[in-house]
Amino acid sequence: MQGQVPAGQVVGRVIAIANQKGGVGKTTTAINLAVAIADTGRRVLLVDLDPQGNATSGICPPQDVSAARGEGKTIYQALVGGLAIAEILRQVRPTLSLAPAGDDLVGAEIELVTMEGRERRLRALLEPVRGEYNYVLIDTPPSLGILTLNALVAADSVLVPMQCEYYALEGLSALLGTINKVKAALRPGLEIEGLVLTMFDMRNRLSHEISAEVRKHFPEKVFRSVIPRSVRMSESPSHGLSVLEYESKSAGAEAYRALAAEIMAHREESR
């Protein structure tokens, strides 16, 4: 991408989207937040660090995904294979680039273990390019393994999606414990960007209860924007589109725009 980041905007802010529970809305949040921020003209890099590659397939036309993977231009090739990150990036929207994942990434969990600086490889990889973006968002796998660790070490902050269901808070202490260990040993400045409630069902009493409970536990840390449960949201990735593009006026699209606005306002006014 060409040109300079406009004055006043945050530069190179790296946000890891993490929760070791599967199916809580990490990938959906990564895709829709990336598009919502990029739609404002800010430059965004989305890094798919999940071997399932759902962020990749959810934002690219299918032929593009197979081309990227066929050419071996995946995040695995950069993280483990030694390619420069610039070689694997694909521009997927006017101001949005993607570092795609393929199933070769499955091997990384094991291969990274014996590599030098194994927890810092993603951080080192992003260093030369992060300044070209306002925001770098990293989608992580549903585990607290070495890939997620790489994301946390590379990040300035962690965004935690939480599904509005009965066991929402379960597992959160493990995640917060990991974040604290990473802060102590590897990445002192790591912050919590915030918790975002996902798959909220207005008509379901449980959704309201969970929301109230999470806000009681973390009064300062829960975003005002809440992501509603909607069929549109689950349909859009199969078209390689964000919900903002698939159904621009839907409640889900509005919610992700509002979340993006909260994050940008917080970051850009605190500078």
Ligand X SMILES: Nc1ncnc2c1ncn2[C@@H]1O[C@H](COP(=O)(O)OP(=O)(O)O)[C@@H](O)[C@H]1O
Question: Which residues of this chain interact with ligand X, rule CB under 6 A?
Answer: 22-28, 54, 142, 198-199, 227, 229-230, 233-234, 237, 252
Show the tokens assigned to 196. 């975002």
Instruction: Write the CA distances from 58 to 29, 42, 196, integer angstroms.
Output: 11, 20, 20
- In whole angstroms, how close is the CB of 153 to ligand X at the nearest point? 20
Q: Which is nearer to ligand X, 25 or 51 (by Cβ)?
A: 25
For residue 191, what is the enclosing H or E element?
strand 191-198
- In whole angstroms, how close is the CB of 127 to ligand X at the nearest point? 26
Q: Which does 194 bind (CB under 5 to 8 A by kind): ligand X, Mg ion, none?
A: none
Sign of CA dihedral 37, 178, 175, 225: negative
Q: Which does 198 bind (CB under 5 to 8 A by kind): ligand X, Mg ion, none?
A: ligand X
The amino acid present at 120, given as its one-letter code, is R
Q: Which residues contact 2 (CB under 8 A, 6 or more apart)?
A: none
Q: Which does 68 bind (CB under 5 to 8 A by kind): ligand X, Mg ion, none?
A: none
Q: Which does 102 bind (CB under 5 to 8 A by kind): ligand X, Mg ion, none?
A: none
Of 216, 189, 158, 227, the C-alpha closest to 20 is 158
Residues in contact with Mg ion, shown as a per-residue x/- string from 36 to 75 under the rule CB under 5 A: ------------------x---------------------
Q: Which is nearer to Mg ion, 40 or 143 (by Cβ)?
A: 143
> By the 8 A CB rule, do 80 and 115 touch?
yes
- In whole angstroms, how close is the CB of 59 to ligand X at the nearest point? 12
Q: Which is nearer to ligand X, 26 or 42 (by Cβ)?
A: 26
Residue entry with tokens 């795609």: 100
> By the 8 A CB rule, do 38 and 93 touch?
yes
Binding to Mg ion (CB under 5 A): which residues in 115-134?
none
**C-alpha dihedral, 81 to 84 to 87 to 91, nearest 10°:** 110
- In whole angstroms, how close is the CB of 148 to ligand X at the nearest point? 12
- In whole angstroms, how close is the CB of 263 to Mg ion at the nearest point? 19
Burial of 33 (0-12, 13-18, 19+ CB in 10 A): buried
Q: Which is nearer to ligand X, 10 or 16 (by Cβ)?
A: 16
Q: Which is nearer to ligand X, 25 or 194 (by Cβ)?
A: 25
Q: Which does 34 bind (CB under 5 to 8 A by kind): ligand X, Mg ion, none?
A: none
How far apart CA 73 and CA 268 sit, in angstroms, is 33
Q: Is 27 in the site for Mg ion (CB under 5 A)?
A: yes
Question: Interface residues with Mg ion (CB under 5 A)?
Answer: 26-27, 54
